[in-house]
């Protein structure tokens, strides 16, 4: 993936009305902080931001071209209008070259597991891992081919491809994906329970029938004696 560049301009503090006017002109109020420097208030352009947002992950580093000054940063957060869905604000976290950072890297699974082809169901409990590295070697995502994965053969963090100069902080035993015969297990457990329940109901019905017959036999002689 090519390096992404986002044009930005400095902005002064403004009233709510002025900011809304800027938004109507296609500008998004934003702030860039980190890097050991004071936060800077900026504008980015909604058309450009919407475009890059479709192709970035939490660990994608983009370049903010701030009136000719280049800043490398993550998209840390953004807010949208709940009704109009327009962008209201964006937070950027600047990163410094040569200074290690902590980040979460997305895991992308590819291929159809053999276990799924055999009737199993793929479970994917973890979608990313935490790493520590220099910004220059931070991967945007980790791609793993799971087409050979069989049933009950979990993919752990320790099974992921090795990444040079990247330290994985997540537990090596954490499960990324596994294929299980979930439905079959549920059916196998449910069938004995249903049979036991049916047998229990039949036994209770038989006991109630016997009790009823015994009660009639005992009351009949008493009625004859009184007569």
Indicate the pLDDT class of residue 62, thresholds 50, 70 and 90.
very high
Mean pLDDT of the chain: 84
Indicate the pLDDT class of residue 97, thresholds 50, 70 and 90.
confident
* pLDDT, tens digit (0-9, with 9 covering 90-100), for 82-94: 888 889 999 999 9
* Angle at alpha carbon of residue 25, lines to 19 and 31, rounded to 5°: 45
What residues contact residue 99 under an 8 Å CB cut-off, 6+ apart? 134, 135
Residue 189: is its pLDDT beyond 70? no
* pLDDT, tens digit (0-9, with 9 covering 90-100), for 195-216: 565 565 655 555 555 545 555 4
pTM recorded for the entire structure: 0.67
What does the DSSP assignment read for 141-165? Answer: EEEEE-TT--BT--EEGGGSPP-TT
State the pLDDT at residue 34: 87
* pLDDT, tens digit (0-9, with 9 covering 90-100), for 103-151: 999 999 999 999 999 999 999 999 999 999 998 899 999 999 999 999 9
Indicate the pLDDT class of residue 194, thresholds 50, 70 and 90.
low
141 forms beta bridges with 106
Phi and psi at 148, nearest 5°, equal -95, 0
What residues contact residue 180 under an 8 Å CB cut-off, 6+ apart? 120, 121, 123, 151, 152
Average pLDDT rounded to a whole number, residues 56-69: 92
Residue 166: is its pLDDT beyond 80? yes
Average pLDDT rounded to a whole number, residues 42-53: 94
């Amino acid at each position: 993936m090519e390096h992404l560049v986002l044009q930005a301009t400095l902005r002064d503090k403004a009233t709510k009305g002025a900011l809304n006017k800027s938004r109507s002109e296609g500008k998004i109020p934003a702030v860039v902080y980190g890097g050991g420097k004071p936060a800077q208030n900026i504008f980015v352009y909604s058309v450009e931001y919407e475009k890059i947002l479709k192709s970035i992950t939490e660990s994608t580093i983009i370049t903010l071209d701030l009136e000719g000054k280049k800043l490398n940063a993550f998209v840390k957060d953004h807010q949208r209008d709940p009704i109009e869905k327009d962008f209201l604000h964006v937070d950027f976290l600047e990163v410094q070259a040569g200074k290690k950072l902590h980040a979460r890297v997305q895991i992308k699974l590819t291929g159809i597991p053999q276990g799924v082809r055999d009737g199993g169901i793929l479970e994917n409990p973890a979608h990313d891992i935490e790493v520590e590295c220099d910004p220059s070697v931070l991967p945007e995502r980790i791609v793993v081919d799971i087409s050979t994965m069989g049933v009950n053969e979990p993919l752990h963090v320790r099974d992921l491809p090795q990444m040079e100069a990247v330290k994985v902080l997540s537990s090596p035993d954490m499960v990324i994906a596994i294929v299980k015969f979930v439905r079959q297990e549920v059916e196998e457990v449910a069938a004995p329970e249903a049979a036991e329940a049916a047998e229990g109901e039949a036994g209770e019905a038989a006991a109630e029938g016997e009790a009823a017959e015994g009660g009639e036999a005992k009351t009949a002689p008493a009625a004859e004696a009184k007569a």
